[in-house]
Homo-oligomer: A and B are copies of this chain.
């Protein structure tokens, strides 16, 4: 698989096929693993890091569950390629910052991504459409078991898996869910909901993971604690919380429909019209407008466009994607123009 092949492909987890995929964009499970008796990446020397890279690559190659994957060494990627993979949620900003001895392993459907020598030796993730953490867990659990036959993971009987940052120790697992909550935002209930999430020891983040602000109507919710509970318990807890948030978003949508239908129709239709007509548009405005159109789609105010197309657009309108599509470097102004052109093309009915 070439990196360029991905441009015209929709990640499986974006296809809006999973449970509750109107409100829950995607579910993600990631596991942090480290090789036994090797310093964590930030403390490892070049030789040690190179050995980790080679060992993990070798283990991946031997694992049946990973036979459809491709390994990209960061040294072989230019800055647009790296940004491109970050935009697709296949790797982190942190992995991209230094390229030495680093790699990312991706399968064709973009369900699986394994980062080598990020904060931990191994950070693997499995993504699923909608609210489907258990399915993601089933898949990643098999990959983890298979890899553990090839590699010796740092593990203590009383503590569990060891990780560079203590907050990840234990299961080494983080479950996270990307939510679209426009009605809770529009009805000014979102702060109450976010406060409740924080009180229950869950984290809320923005569209692109750690360190990014929740902006617009998208919120990523994940567990803070990975120690002292089994993976299944942690997932069950997240699931319970997410089901409540989904219920609240649905209630807020019904309230908007019964009390402010006209206002909602106005915003939805204006947003759709702007996306179909703009000749210059920023990422931020696009995300805000797409959010309203997605809501209109969920509420059947807009009928001739699918959620899959809208989900795709959230990815495609990003800077590195626009540059991969055009196959050249674009200035910010050029991107705003190309972005508008792309959106008009994708939404032409």
Residue numbers of A with Cβ under 8 A of B are 262-263, 265-266, 269-270, 272-274, 276-281, 337, 340
Contact = CB atoms under 8 A, between A and B. Distances in A.
Contacts of A262: 279-280, 337
A344 to B, nearest CB: 9
8 contacts: A262-B279, A266-B279, A266-B281, A269-B278, A269-B279, A270-B277, A273-B273, A273-B277
Contacts of A265: 279
- Say how many copies of this protein the assembly contains: 2
Contacts of A274: 270, 273-274
Contacts of A266: 278-281, 340
A278 B305 CA distance: 19
A281 B262 CA distance: 11
Contacts of A278: 266, 269-270
A276 B279 contact: no
A262 B338 CA distance: 11
A276 B270 CA distance: 9
A191 B265 CA distance: 39
Contacts of A272: 277
A85 to B, nearest CB: 30
Given A262-B280, A273-B277, 13 more contacts: A262-B279, A265-B279, A266-B281, A266-B340, A269-B277, A269-B278, A270-B274, A270-B277, A270-B278, A272-B277, A273-B274, A273-B276, A274-B274
A278 B262 CA distance: 10
A274 B275 CA distance: 10
Contacts of A281: 266
A281 B266 CA distance: 9
A279 to B, nearest CB: 4
A263 to B, nearest CB: 6
Nearest to A301: B279
Contacts of A270: 274, 277-279
